[in-house]
Chain A
Amino acid sequence: MAWVNAVIQGILTGGLYALFACGLSLLFGVMKVVNLAHGDLATVAGYVGVGIVAAIHLPFLWSVPVVVLAMAVLGYVLQRSVIQAALSRGELTTLIVTFGLSIVIENGLLQFFTSDSRGLAVGDSFTTASFSIGSQITIAWLDVYIFVLAVAVLLALQYFLTGSKYGRLIRAVADDREAAQLSGADYRHVFGIAAAIAFGTVALAGMSYGLTTTIDPTTGTDTILLFAFAAVVIGGLGSLWGTLIGGIVLGVAQQIGAQINIGYEQLGGYVIFLLVLVVWPQGLTGRRAQS
């Protein structure tokens, strides 16, 4: 029964990891930017959420759209200024700039908020409520909400990218920038919009993580960026649903690792990551996405 519990908890955590990963996946898919500051930006969103709730006593759920919107604006501005400037100078510069941003943000948080862990103080039954199946399996409602949120975000992204006019424009620019530009699309603006969407999902990821556990300045790289990347690699590059599968596989592997020995939680995830890297370098859904 304990193993069944581990698998169920792992699947639910996998939703959170997919949420971590979709911003990373989107930025790489559209503009070939590997954003090393991804996790730290999510942590910033978490801190801003903490700050807003603490400062103006806004109910937590109302602070979510505020933070998401603020991060989306930040995403557009960062993309149009720093990231675009780096992008036009090559891959090395892009990596250096996002790595620089990561280090600057992490140490900035360390400087202004100290290394203490913080949680999003919602302070009601929202974070603690749970229900039980049988005697040994207890599922937190919060984990279910986050899983549903992750699936909803992926569905919305899928619909937006395939169904809407703007989504098709983004995909056109991603496929062939010059051709899209010749047809009158301003690729810089399109990149900005894509970055805004990605940063919005990053904000959701950071705040969700802040609800499930506490965050500190190093959470962004130690947990969010590395788990997001592991989920992307396991699931297969460039596939949104692969990201969900990757997140779930990572989550289940971690929970099974923790079931064997509480110290093996993260190691369990990395073992699966390395295994996939060796056996299926294209990721679990990679071949299907290619054909």
Chain B
Amino acid sequence: MTETAKTRVRSGESELRVTRSRRNVAWSGVGAIVVVVVLFLFPYYIGAGTTDIMVQALIVLTLASMWNLLAGYAGLVSVGQQAFFGLGAYFVLIPAMHGVTPWAALPIAAIGAGICALPLWWLVSRLRTGYFAIATWVLASAIMLVVEQFQSIGGGTGEALPGLSGMDPAVLAAYTYWAALIVAVLAIGAVYFLLRSRVGLVLTAIRDDERAARSSGARVGLARMLVFVVAAAGCGAAGGVLAIQQLEVAPGTSGGVFSVQWTAEMAFAVIIGGIGTIEGPIVGTAVFIILQQTLESYNAWYLIILGLVAIVIAIFFRRGLWGTLDDKVNLRLLPTGYYLWPAGETRRRFRRSKADVAQG
């Protein structure tokens, strides 16, 4: 997993080493696999009520990972991701109404939402930052209005999801959980490997200096478009999972699949957990679910508290919980960047050299 590039610096005759991380992170890959296996076995040991909450968490985790890719790595602050989330839900509903089993429709949801993102990208790509944000919001609103025009898929009131009515509730809950888990793992995996690829390098270059990246031949527009499409596909898959969990698809901006609340949840989870790290959305989702479950009986309060926490963290701890931890102890379990080793420094001597720096 760790790439090492050795370059001889001609002037100083010393060796420069470039690795993925300052620490050896091979064990965290093994740890991730163990965690996924344990999560996979959950339905055998815990009740349907708990898996239901876990499905909610996995949906938010998928969404947050996608929003992190958009805002944290490509600088695209989208407030309209509910468009793709809602489209994903409908891309599960429509095949299901024609006899396709909803499980098989999940890939359709991801691919469909990704394809829908292409023309929308063409529309919004000419706008920057704040205007990009509201434009995505307007598009989400327009898409909802269009979807509501079709009475055959429930119009403005929504439609029940057919095709799962015969299943035993416990089995259905377990299957839904596994589907949500697979979607979340694939989403995080996709983000991780996308960022370690050439696209990740281009994105880092854009983040540091867009003009310089452009003039060095980096295909800035293409990289951003790829990120937008991947994020749409991920949100679409998450929307499909929601359709299966709720067994119905309802449009509408308050409580429906096109509610801006979904974008609020994913954005706040990312900001709280730590934007621009793979681990951040995971931490943020945990905070989100704990808050939501604690304040469950107080209606809208969890979103109010979540919003306030996100504002405070955005202002005072810009890198979020995980980013702040990373600053303190240099901890990246799933590194996507590179670390340039100064001459002579090795992993074993890391602690001592840090102490030297502190003394000097």
The CA-CA distance from A91 to B76 in the complex, in Å, is 11
- B308 contacts chain A at the CB level, 8 A cutoff: yes
User: A273 to B129, Cβ gap below 8 A?
Assistant: no
User: B123 to A277, Cβ gap below 8 A?
Assistant: yes
User: B304 to A96, Cβ gap below 8 A?
Assistant: no
The CA-CA distance from A91 to B146 in the complex, in Å, is 32
- B145 contacts chain A at the CB level, 8 A cutoff: yes
Shortest Cβ gap from B151 to chain A (Å): 11
Q: Would A267 and B145 be within 8 Å (CB), given that A36-B79, A103-B303, A226-B134 are in contact?
A: yes
How many A-B contacts are there with CB distance less than 8 Å? Answer: 127
- Among A79-95, those with CB < 8 Å from B are 82, 85-86, 89, 91-95
Query: Which listed segment binds A: B13-21, B309-317, B345-353?
Result: B309-317
User: B142 to A267, Cβ gap below 8 A?
Assistant: yes
The CA-CA distance from A271 to B237 in the complex, in Å, is 28
- B253 contacts chain A at the CB level, 8 A cutoff: yes
User: A34 to B129, Cβ gap below 8 A?
Assistant: yes
User: B133 to A34, Cβ gap below 8 A?
Assistant: yes
- A148 contacts chain B at the CB level, 8 A cutoff: no
- Among A197-240, those with CB < 8 Å from B are 218, 221-222, 225-226, 229-230, 233, 237
Q: Is the interface of A mostly helix, strand, loop or mixed?
A: helix
Contact of A36 (CB < 8 Å), options: B134, B146, B301:
B134
- B177 contacts chain A at the CB level, 8 A cutoff: no
B71 cross-chain contacts in A, Cβ below 8 A: 92
Interface band, chain A: 35 or more
Chain B: which residue is nearest A112 at the CB level?
B300
Query: Which listed segment binds A: B56-64, B263-271, B321-329?
Result: B263-271
User: A111 to B301, Cβ gap below 8 A?
Assistant: yes
A7 cross-chain contacts in B, Cβ below 8 A: none
Shortest Cβ gap from A195 to chain B (Å): 15
User: B131 to A34, Cβ gap below 8 A?
Assistant: yes
B77 cross-chain contacts in A, Cβ below 8 A: 92, 95-96
A187 cross-chain contacts in B, Cβ below 8 A: none
User: A270 to B138, Cβ gap below 8 A?
Assistant: yes
Q: Would A115 and B133 be within 8 Å (CB), given that A82-B311, A100-B308 are in contact?
A: no
Residues of B at the A interface (CB closer than 8 Å) are: 71, 75, 77, 79, 123, 126-127, 129-131, 133-135, 137-138, 141-142, 145-146, 148-149, 253-254, 260-261, 264, 267-268, 271, 275, 299-301, 303-304, 306-308, 310-311, 314-315, 318
A-B contact pairs, 12 of them (CB 8 A): A91-B129, A92-B71, A95-B130, A96-B77, A99-B264, A101-B307, A103-B307, A107-B307, A226-B134, A226-B137, A270-B141, A277-B127
